[in-house]
Amino acid sequence: MRKLFIVNNPKSWPLNIPGIEVVAARDYLMDSAYVNEKGVKIFNLCRSYRYQTTGYYVSLLAAARGHMAFPGITTIEDMRSQPLLRGFSDDIEDLIQKSLGSLQSSRFTLSIYFGRNIAKKYDQLSSKIFSQFQAPLIRAFFSRRGSKWRLSSIQLISANDIPDEHFLYVILFAEEYFSRPIYRVRVRKHLPYDMAILLNEKEEEPPSDSGAIKKFMKAAHNIGFNTEIISKDEGNRLAEFDALFIRETTGVNHYTFRLAQRARADGLIVIDDPDSILKCTNKVYLAELLNHYNIPAPRTVILNRENIATAHEQLGFPIILKQPDSSFSLGVMKVDTLQELTQQGTMLFEKSDLIIGQEFTPTDFDWRIGVINNIPIFACKYYMARSHWQVMNWDKKGKARYGKWETVDLGSAPVEVIDLALKISSVIGDGLYGVDIKHFNGRYYVIEINDNPNLDSGVEDRILGDELYLKIMRVFYERVKRLKGGGN
């Protein structure tokens, strides 16, 4: 990939970095030679990024030309997002306190140049911020309340904002940045596109086992993707890829959501996309959605501290209480008495102002229909764990015990189950989903829809085998191809 340093005056940037070209902004904007060139990475170091300035147009036209621009037009929007900023600050709270704890002031400004600060003691903090908000030149603002420091805002800065005494450091950091092995051109086979697969190797119950991941990578290669496993700490590499496949448990208040946001902003095809994560991981939203679209579901009530005491009048006992962002049966409990309802509800309200109350619909198994691009791709029966009312039963040590499973040919699954799965998935989006459905008292009910559904080797692929993984990778390939202008 060709790398260009775009600056107002190349004479002001005496860089000596192999593989890096310093180009005047005027030339990049006006020279037709850059218009149709493919595989270009732009580092925009113009004097200003303000609306309709030269620096603004460099990033804008880079996006139009299919070039990867840093900073991109959407990067500044991420920096303005207070929920994103708060979540990120929470993620790195220990590092913030460790780095700034000795300061006596109530405010602190950190200048970050290519992931570095001129004071070495702030390098780790600078690197973390840079990995989340990738732009060559950043300024982070911190404030202290009591004994705790918080990241209050982040701004892009231009070359004009660099103090004279910092400029030689910026040159040095830029040279070191581009000399790191991570940015050397990797040896690749001649495949059209590159895919990153996000994994957490320490996750207790990942959505795909190692066998499935190997099959995904094989399928991706056969379709036309180079693939590489990345971790949460490699978010600054996303722009090297054309697609991101998230294969770890997602959450809104979680780095998976922020990486999905960044990948989409950088122009990658993403599954799970941030909209799907947002919609699927909150059961309050899902309850409203099912009601709005008249999709059959067990009787459900949104509960707060005021109405929980009367929930049994509408639902009867037992009642299923659900934490809005629960997953893998955690944060879901059955209560049989008013005392249990009050106790368990009080505990759930510590995390959320609203929770879900749902009538108990006991069944031997749940249907799970896998859907991608609003097309069903697998059907499974997940049986309840032995002597338990859920598919997963967690013991006191945090270990999960599963019920049996049975993979069913899609043609043999009840038509009502397939239709319900497609109805709910179509109002969520066109991503990869797992729809859970119960058959109770002669009717079918949607229980929930999951982004990032389980896909394990020998389970969900029992019927289709390798074809299941190919179906998913074909969706990625066609979307990337359309995005890159390679087809309709």
**Burial environment of residue 124 by CB neighbours within 10 A (0 to 12, 13 to 18, 19 or more):** middle
Radius of gyration over every alpha carbon of the chain, rounded to an integer in angstroms: 25
Tokens found for residue 119 = 């004071």
340 and 451 assigned to the same domain? yes
Asked whether the beta carbons of 429 and 379 are under 8 A apart, the reply is: no
Specify the 3-state DSSP secondary structure of 413.
Answer: coil
Whether 188 maps to a domain, the answer reads: no
Q: How far apart, in whole angstroms, are the C-alpha atoms of residue 61 and residue 73?
A: 10
Neighbour-count burial for 84-112, b at 16+ CB within 10 Å, e otherwise:
bbebbbebbeeebeebbeeeeeeebebbb
Select from 163, 183, 203 the last residue of a domain: 183
Q: How many CA atoms lie within 13 A of 15 on its CB side?
A: 24
C-alpha 345: how far from its chain's center?
29
89 and 163 assigned to the same domain? yes
353 and 233 assigned to the same domain? no
Q: What is the CATH number of the domain that holds 103?
A: 3.30.470
288 and 366 assigned to the same domain? yes
The secondary structure of 46-87 as a DSSP string is: -S--STTSHHHHHHHHHHHTT-EEES-TTHHHHHH-HHHHHH
Whether 278 maps to a domain, the answer reads: no
Whether 293 maps to a domain, the answer reads: yes
Q: What does the pLDDT read at residue 76?
A: 55
115 and 136 assigned to the same domain? yes
289 and 248 assigned to the same domain? no
Q: What does the pLDDT read at residue 211?
A: 95
Residues 6+ positions from 408 with CB-CB distance below 8 Å: 379, 380, 381, 463
423 and 380 assigned to the same domain? yes
Q: What does the pLDDT read at residue 79?
A: 65
Asked whether the beta carbons of 155 and 187 are under 8 A apart, the reply is: no
314 and 459 assigned to the same domain? yes
Q: What does the pLDDT read at residue 95?
A: 93
The secondary structure of 13-31 as a DSSP string is: -----TTEEEEEHHHHHH-
32 and 161 assigned to the same domain? no
Q: What is the CATH number of the domain that holds 329?
A: 3.30.470.20
Q: How far apart, in whole angstroms, are the C-alpha atoms of residue 451 and residue 322?
A: 17
Q: What does the pLDDT read at residue 2?
A: 84
429 and 295 assigned to the same domain? yes
Whole-structure pTM value: 0.64
Whether 362 maps to a domain, the answer reads: yes
Whether 209 maps to a domain, the answer reads: yes
Using 50 as the pLDDT threshold, list the residues of the chain that sit under it. 181-188, 488
The secondary structure of 346-390 as a DSSP string is: HHHHTT-S-EEEEE----SEEEEEEEETTEEEEEEEEEPPTTSSS
Select from 183, 213, 238 the last residue of a domain: 183
Domain that holds residue 61: 2-72
13 and 144 assigned to the same domain? no
Whether 471 maps to a domain, the answer reads: no
Q: What does the pLDDT read at residue 190?
A: 60
Q: What does the pLDDT read at residue 182?
A: 37
Number of domains in the chain: 4
Q: What does the pLDDT read at residue 460?
A: 96
Q: What does the pLDDT read at residue 90?
A: 83
Q: How far apart, in whole angstroms, are the C-alpha atoms of residue 85 and residue 248?
A: 22
First to last CA, the chain: 25
440 and 306 assigned to the same domain? yes
Whether 381 maps to a domain, the answer reads: yes
Distances (CA, A) of 449 to 275, 280, 353, 390, 424: 13, 6, 22, 16, 8
Select from 183, 202, 230 the last residue of a domain: 183
Whether 488 maps to a domain, the answer reads: no
Q: What is the CATH number of the domain that holds 265?
A: 3.40.50.20
- The 10s digit of each residue's pLDDT in 105-135 is 999 999 999 899 999 999 999 988 887 777 8
- The 10s digit of each residue's pLDDT in 361-370 is 889 999 999 9
Q: What does the pLDDT read at residue 238?
A: 86
